[in-house]
């Protein structure tokens, strides 16, 4: 992968992207080998909305998250890009997210893209693939980031919440009740991956938070 290698995540909704009405989340799992993952003993898998619930929420398969919307209104450009850090011991582990600061020249955020017959119904974020290497250092609760091993494979989910943080929708044939859906992404080969629209899936009454698929563009 070269210095200009990128991945673009595009999230489609039925209505329009409206950050005042909730959050649009790209949840990413960068762990393909539990023996080398920097969060010890975590197994690879699809991050889900359910894993972000509870007190504390386990975030079992979340390694990174991109959040655009109401909860991040005070952030520059209205988004947070962050990686997960685990603290505590077995049985009392707590997951928190630390911000990844992006140079304005190495990402592209589009919040009003168009897809199909829709208008302003696409949220698009392009990142250098190297940013996906960033994960927590298991040797410190306030870690420097580490960049090894390189990430070559992802699991990705698109999730929406209302302004209170309550999940509204995610990818899958049964919406929030989906079990077993996975969206793998190979970062080693150029591809445009069309995500299923799940046209018959249940979803929220607010079309602006109703996920209708999307696509992922890999340029290694």
pLDDT higher than 90, residue 178: yes
Say whether the peptide bond before residue 149 is cis (omega within 30 degrees of 0): yes
What pLDDT shows up at residue 139? 61
Cβ atoms 114, 122 nearer than 8 A: yes
Asked if the structure places residue 1 within a domain, the reply is no
Domain extent at residue 178: 6-219
- Residue 77 has φ and ψ, to the nearest 5°, of 65, 10
Distances (CA, A) of 89 to 1, 43, 145: 36, 17, 20
CA atoms 34, 31, 147, 51: torsion sign: negative
pLDDT digits (tens, 9 = 90+) for 22-51: 999 999 998 877 776 666 677 889 999 999
Rounded CA-CA distance 168/22 in Å is: 9
Name the domain count of the chain: 1
Residue with the bigger pLDDT between 216 and 55: it is 216
Q: What's the chain's average pLDDT?
A: 90
pLDDT higher than 60, residue 142: no
Residue with the bigger pLDDT between 148 and 132: it is 132
Asked if the structure places residue 214 within a domain, the reply is yes
Asked if the structure places residue 94 within a domain, the reply is yes
pLDDT digits (tens, 9 = 90+) for 67-123: 999 999 999 889 999 999 887 766 677 888 999 999 888 899 999 999 999 999 999
Written as one string, the DSSP assignment of 4-37 is: T-EEEEEEEESS---GGG-EEEEEEE--S-TTT-
Q: How far apart are the first and last CA of the chain?
A: 5
Asked if the structure places residue 185 within a domain, the reply is yes
From the list 25, 13, 68, the residue with the least C-alpha distance to 211 is 13
Rounded CA-CA distance 152/159 in Å is: 23
Q: What is the pTM (predicted TM-score) of this model?
A: 0.94
Q: How confident is the model at residue 3 (pLDDT cuts 50, 70, 90)?
A: low
What pLDDT shows up at residue 144? 60
């Amino acid at each position: 992968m070269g210095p200009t290698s990128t991945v673009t995540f595009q999230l489609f909704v039925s209505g329009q992207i409206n950050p005042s009405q909730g959050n649009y989340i790209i949840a990413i799992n960068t762990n393909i080998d539990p023996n080398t993952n920097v969060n010890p003993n975590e197994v690879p898998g699809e991050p889900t909305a359910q894993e972000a619930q509870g007190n504390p929420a386990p975030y079992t398969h979340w390694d990174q998250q991109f959040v655009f919307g109401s909860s991040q209104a005070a952030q520059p450009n209205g988004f947070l890009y962050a990686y997960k850090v685990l603290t505590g011991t077995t049985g009392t582990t707590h997951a928190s997210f630390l911000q990844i600061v992006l140079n304005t020249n190495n990402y592209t955020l589009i919040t009003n893209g168009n897809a199909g017959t829709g208008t302003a119904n696409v949220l698009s974020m392009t990142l250098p693939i190297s940013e996906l290497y960033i994960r927590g250092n298991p040797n410190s609760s306030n870690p420097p980031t580490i960049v090894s091993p390189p990430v070559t494979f992802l699991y990705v989910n698109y999730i929406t919440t209302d302004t209170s943080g309550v999940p509204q929708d995610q990818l899958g044939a049964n919406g929030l009740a989906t079990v077993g859906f996975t969206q793998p992404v190979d970062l080693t080969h150029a591809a445009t991956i069309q995500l299923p629209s799940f046209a018959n899936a249940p979803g929220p009454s607010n079309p602006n938070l109703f996920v209708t698929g999307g696509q992922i563009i890999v340029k290694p």
